[in-house]
Chains A and B, each alone.
Chain A
Amino acid sequence: MSISKEDAQAYWKENIKIIFSYLVVWFAVSFGCGILFIEELNSIDFFGFQLGFWFAQQGSIFVFCGLIIAYAASMNKLDQKYDVHE
């Protein structure tokens, strides 16, 4: 392995932070908006949908796609920063 132990640990820490922040969004749109707070959100009209219903059946999926794309971009940047890219 070409990188030092300290760098490897710092890289891993930042990686965990990135994952955690994206998973917070992931949880919020699916379990939060789509399940736990669906009734509250349903009182809001969103282009003809009840907002909670929309998150549960479509919105969360769009956000999931965006999350993976953003995560891949963040990680590419992090890999460059620590010079561990391929």
Chain B
Amino acid sequence: METQDILNFTFIGASFALYIGIAIWARAGSTKEFYVAGGGVHPIANGMATAADWMSAASFISLAGIISFMGRDGAAYLMGWTGGYVMLAMLLAPYLRKFGKFTVPDFVGDRYYSNFARVIAVICTIIISFTYVAGQMRGVGIVFSRFLGVGINEGVVLGMAIVFFYAVLGGMKGITYTQVAQYVVLILAYTVPALFLSFQITGHILPQTGLGATLADGQSVLATINSLSTELGLKEYTAGGKSTLDMFFVTAALMCGTAGLPHVIVRFFTVPTVKDARTSAGWALAFIAILYTAVPGVAAFGKLNLINTVNGPENTGVAYTAMPEWFKTWEESGLIGWSDLNGDGKVQYAAGKAFAGKGKPAFGEGRNANGSRVTTNAASGKFDATKQPFANEVYVDRDIMVLANPEIAQLPGWVIALVAAGAVAAALSTAAGLLLVISTAIAHDLMKKTINPKITEKQEMMYARLAAVGAILVAGYFGINPPGFVAIVVALAFGLAASSFFPVIVMGIFSTRMNKEGAIAGMIVGIGSTMAYIVYFKFMGGTKDELFMGISPEGFGTVGMILNFIVAFIVSSMTPPPPVQIQELVESIRIPRGAGDAHAH
């Protein structure tokens, strides 16, 4: 075994031992501990747990890569996935904490005095959470296969076993304290290489300021990338590609979706008081911001490194045989592919697709003479000679930006091992939070509140654990056989949350007049229109010209949300107001005092 493998095993193994140790220490004894950790988590601990819960494999592995390839437009994700917390802190979290139950469907069902509304909420919760969790399991598999040398499927199974252990045993209590540890691991794993990288390239230690630094060529980092990109026929990094309207709608959908995601909301049920819920949202965003504000730097440095390494200092390409080790390692993993379209033996990166179809390489058997992997779907090699000097010959998967960064920057072996442990921590912490939400939705909202209210606490707990086991098995299956919907997790999960939960909860708090007819009609219209739009454009081959006002499917959740609000208000104004005790309930969740009592049913 090589030294690097030993390091990887040690780091990942040690982090697992830590998580399992915490899980045994923080076992759940009651349903309240299982669902909301007994409602006694310190706001700072909850902030860290929320941050780990929130920052998924996508944030950790993919986000920098997305920004790297999208440039300025990537800001929709940066602002969307952080700005949602402002709304969460001001419009939802404190009141839901005062309400003092276990789940989002609890609130929807009670506030709108309707089991039908509750069931719609349960269904949405389950769809959102499964879409999301499948991606996490896949992420664990990819990291394991790359860093531990096991197959992706074995990696998924290993990840399932670990999550099984602490989610099923510990419930929310176990998950919360494990997530605190996972936050520490993932934030170190992200920031350490980012600091190294920033210092190497710019001389600034912080990537946040390094991104604005001036390089040896006298230009700023961003200006350098812009001019390199222009030479290669790529869009300028700091220029926008999306229309302003589309950017607006996508950002809004991601923000409102963030504020409406059940696994994020439920975290604010775990703190002792309303005041703690507000403070905790602040801590959560601060912990998230440490990573998110480093992302633009990592993205830009990664892009710069990539162009410099692949195209060489002259920006004309480098011979495959002279490529650094990491290029070949990641080619083995299939995240890099090269096809020598012009036959000059040099790897050349420019605008355009290097491979036919979706642009990803299909690998054949065997090797080319220079040792590179054989690919079977090379693109035509045509290019516009007025815009770029050569055709693009390389496929670079966006996930590489973070995972390969330490190797590209030639950082020490322990940093590489740390990144591997961090990526696993990010995926596992999010997966565990989602699995808990699924199991709570089934055991509490469906079994206890809808189907059979007579079950005892012990039975409910058993159902919750059984549901968690079932959810892990389904999630693992999706991880091994990823269905098509996993690829559109952003559109689907955030679109659904933005068009269903966000408006329904906000109206439930800020309007005493909103009744069940309005809420149900609003949810159905919101979810229905958003789902139809996403399915049409993602699965039924809808073309770009058919987009409604040029709004991409990722942004349609905002339209669904607006429709939800409008329909809800019209229907509710034509139907009788909610019963007096519901109006009193709304009045009472607006006043902080008494949150502790409300919790002990």
A positions within 8 Å CB-CB of B? 1-3, 8, 11-12, 15, 19, 22-23, 26, 30-31, 34-36, 38, 42, 46-50, 53-54, 56-58, 60-62, 64-65, 67-69, 71-72, 75-76, 79, 84-86
Contacts and interface: CB of A to CB of B under 8 A. Distances in A.
15 contacts: A47-B209, A53-B75, A53-B222, A56-B79, A58-B296, A60-B79, A61-B82, A68-B86, A68-B285, A69-B286, A72-B279, A75-B275, A85-B592, A86-B273, A86-B595
Contacts of B82: 60-61, 64
Contacts of B293: 58, 61-62
Interface string B328-339: 000000000000
A1 B594 contact: yes
A58 B208 contact: yes
Interface stretch (B18-26, B244-252, B465-473, B475-483): B244-252
A61 B293 CA distance: 7
A30 B251 contact: yes
Contacts of A56: 72, 75, 78-79
Contacts of A12: 590
A85 B593 contact: yes
A61 B85 CA distance: 10
Contacts of A84: 591-593
Given A48-B214, A53-B222, A26 B244 contact: no
Contact of A72 (B67, B87, B282): B282
The secondary-structure label for the interface of chain A is helix
A12 B95 CA distance: 12
Contact of A65 (B78, B247, B286): B286
A79 B275 contact: yes
Contact of B591 (A1, A19, A42, A57): A1
Contacts of B89: 68, 71-72
B251 A65 contact: no
A67 B592 contact: no
Contacts of B111: none
Interface in B72-102: 72, 74-75, 78-79, 82-83, 85-87, 89-91, 94
Contacts of A30: 79, 83, 251, 255
The secondary-structure label for the interface of chain B is helix
Contacts of B85: 64, 68
Interface of B: 67, 72, 74-75, 78-79, 82-83, 85-87, 89-91, 94, 208-209, 211-214, 220-222, 238, 240, 244, 247-248, 251-252, 255, 273-275, 278-279, 281-282, 285-286, 289, 292-293, 296, 587-588, 590-596
A26 B79 contact: no
Contact of A49 (B212, B593, B596): B212
A57 B70 CA distance: 12
B78 A49 contact: no
Nearest to A59: B293
List of 10 A-B pairs having minimum Cβ-Cβ separation, nearest first:
A48-B212, A56-B75, A68-B282, A57-B296, A72-B278, A48-B220, A86-B273, A47-B212, A49-B212, A68-B89
Contact of A71 (B90, B212, B587): B90
A35 B90 CA distance: 23
A35 B244 contact: yes
Contacts of A8: 587, 590-591
A22 B89 CA distance: 11
A46 B48 CA distance: 31
Given A1-B591, A31-B248, A60 B83 contact: yes
A36 B248 contact: yes
A30 B286 CA distance: 17
A34 B500 CA distance: 26
Nearest to B276: A86
Contacts of A48: 211-214, 220-222
Given A30-B83, A69-B282, A64 B289 contact: yes
B79 A34 contact: yes
Contacts of A23: 86-87, 90
A46 B209 CA distance: 11
B72 A53 contact: yes
A35 B238 contact: no
A85 B593 CA distance: 6
A11 B251 contact: no
